[in-house]
Structure 1
Amino acid sequence: MDETDPQTVGAVETTFAVIGVLQDRGGAGVTEIANELDLSKSAVHKHLATLVDQRCVVQRGDEYRLGLGLFQYGSFVRNGYDVFHKAKPRVRELAEETGEMVWLIVEENGMAMYLFGDGGSLDINVDSLVGTWTHLHLNSGGKAILSQFSEERVREIVDEHGLPRRTARTITDVDELLAELERTRDRGYALNLEEDLTGIHAIGAPIVHREEVQGALSIAGAANRLTEERCHDEYADRLLTAVNDLELNLTYR
């Protein structure tokens, strides 16, 4: 591991790296973590012992797993977002109306996080995505959020996080992205036409309160069902109505 950045604390970075391995693997032993991070077993054990003491990791025999102590912190953070509380009923209503997946997405430090979701009539475990990060340019909600930023801020985000390709349709050129964001601002919503996952389309709109973007709502579904035409002709009005109602609730809370 690289712990040479003078602006960071190496021990803290190592702790979060250990947490990352446990998250990715669903649990691991000391040797497995040490090999993954190129650390000594004794160093890994010290970090794990500290995390266990703080109830952020639990030990089962020789295996360590993430603990509910982390859930406590995550729940506290999510509950601090007023848009989370206000958006939940709108997300559920849209999912019931459309039968499709509906998401509340927020931005932090130039990345998007799925803060809340409902799978509609689909047999999908939305909890597997809640709390995960993704690049803003990859999905409709993220592009909707980016459309509210200045060109300078968009370029800063691209410089920091890049424009990684997920499918053949992913936007990977910053000028193409800026043109797409201009179209998004003009019509009030963004489209994701198989740019994140092949076979999936989505439409997203920004949530703006007091001239600041609070996040975005998006509807996602199978491309053969949620066609580009239906996004424009049917789902756009539903989505924008839900967002407008949500913005009013944020204003008159």
Structure 2
Amino acid sequence: MSSTTPGPRSVDRALEILDVVADAAGPVGAQALARRLGCSLSTVYHLLGPLVARGHLVRAEGGGYAPGPRVAALHRAFQRHVGVAPGVAEVLARLRRESGAEAYFSAYRDGRITVVDSTAPVTDTAHPFVPGPEMRAHATAHGKALLAQVPRGVRRRYLDEHGMARFTDRTITVAERFEAELARVRGRGFAVSVGEADPAYTCLAMVLPGAAEVRHALSVSLPTAEFRHRHGRVRAAVARSVRAFSDAAGNTGA
């Protein structure tokens, strides 16, 4: 083991390489990775070797490195962990058609909220809501819908850990106001975020019935100006999708 790259530091750098390659628009060269990590080119190549060998990365034909086939297997394993039932992709596609808005499937498990799947094109890097860890739960509809269902003590611990950052002038950043907002969410059966996470977008979410340890939500997002003109249609489409998803899960025993 190299004295300049002790175990934990090597692991951290390898994971950073994965993050950089995953977030890039195209293949990333070794020199660019070395600059990003602030380490030598030889260290980067030392870390790239096992990542490529294990299938987490591949060497692109035109040069540089891209995500490898092992990533798909990890994603499927993650979906199993958060309880993604068969047919979620079809439900999201139908919800998008009926609502005219991008659709999302999110999950709460073990104190974490994740956007698991979405109809938003992977090429749309400007879209404000993408699959992955949700760090703006207090400002999103799916975050509100999921947090409204957990015990207050659990919710307080979540907010203490993740904070309540202000993203726009509409973001709720006071715990008491947030509790009042979640009470309204439980009362009306859906959550709405109007420009709280992104000033130009509104999202609406409803939770899916299921086990207490893993909670799921369906949601949509669209420009706020569009939402104001057809919020009834959007809410009805989400409600229909929740019912269809619940019926399908009941029929399969999920």
Q: Same fold (TM over 0.5)?
A: yes
The change in CA–CA distance for 1:237 and 1:131 in structure 2 (over 3 A counts) is closer
C-alpha distance in 2, partners of 1:77/1:100? 25
Q: Is the 8 A contact 2:28 2:64 kept in 1?
A: yes
C-alpha distance in 2, partners of 1:179/1:30? 50
Shift of 1:125: 5.0
Structure 1 residue 115 and structure 2 residue 104: aligned? no
- How many residues align structurally? 240
C-alpha distance in 2, partners of 1:23/1:104? 21
The change in CA–CA distance for 1:74 and 1:181 in structure 2 (over 3 A counts) is same
Other-structure match for 2:37:
37
Other-structure match for 2:10:
11
The change in CA–CA distance for 1:209 and 1:108 in structure 2 (over 3 A counts) is closer
Percentage of matched positions with identical amino acids: 24
C-alpha distance in 2, partners of 1:126/1:28? 17
C-alpha distance in 2, partners of 1:71/1:235? 31
> What is the TM-score with the length of structure 1 in the denominator?
0.81
**What are the Cα deviations for residues 47-98 of structure 1, in whole angstroms up to 9, with x where unaligned?**
1111011121122476222222212321343256553424333322222222
Other-structure match for 1:75:
76
Read off the aligned partner of 1:239 and give its amino acid letter: V
Other-structure match for 1:4:
none
Other-structure match for 1:20:
19
The change in CA–CA distance for 1:59 and 1:84 in structure 2 (over 3 A counts) is same
The change in CA–CA distance for 1:201 and 1:63 in structure 2 (over 3 A counts) is same
Q: Is the 8 A contact 1:207 1:214 kept in 2?
A: yes
Structure 1 residue 247 and structure 2 residue 236: aligned? no
Q: Which runs of 5+ in 2 are unaligned?
A: 1-6
Q: Is the 8 A contact 2:83 2:214 kept in 1?
A: no
- Name the Cα RMSD after superposition: 2.8
C-alpha distance in 1, partners of 2:122/2:33? 28
**What are the Cα deviations for residues 135-192 of structure 1, in whole angstroms up to 9, with x where unaligned?**
2223211211111111211121122222233222222222222221111111111001
User: Where do residues 184-223 of structure 1 align in structure 2 (5 Å cutoff)?
Assistant: 184-223=185-224
C-alpha distance in 2, partners of 1:74/1:235? 29
Read off the aligned partner of 2:75 and give its amino acid letter: G
> What is the TM-score with the length of structure 2 in the denominator?
0.81
C-alpha distance in 2, partners of 1:151/1:89? 34
C-alpha distance in 2, partners of 1:125/1:59? 21
The change in CA–CA distance for 1:127 and 1:83 in structure 2 (over 3 A counts) is farther
The change in CA–CA distance for 1:151 and 1:81 in structure 2 (over 3 A counts) is closer
Q: Is the 8 A contact 1:200 1:220 kept in 2?
A: yes
Worse-superposed segment, 147-156 or 40-49: 40-49
SS in 1 for 2:94: helix
SS in 2 for 1:221: strand
Read off the aligned partner of 1:41 and give its amino acid letter: L
Structure 1 residue 99 and structure 2 residue 100: aligned? yes
The change in CA–CA distance for 1:173 and 1:76 in structure 2 (over 3 A counts) is same
Q: Which runs of 5+ in 1 are unaligned?
A: 1-7
Read off the aligned partner of 1:154 and give its amino acid letter: R
The change in CA–CA distance for 1:239 and 1:213 in structure 2 (over 3 A counts) is farther
Worse-superposed segment, 169-178 or 54-63: 54-63
Shift of 1:127: 7.6
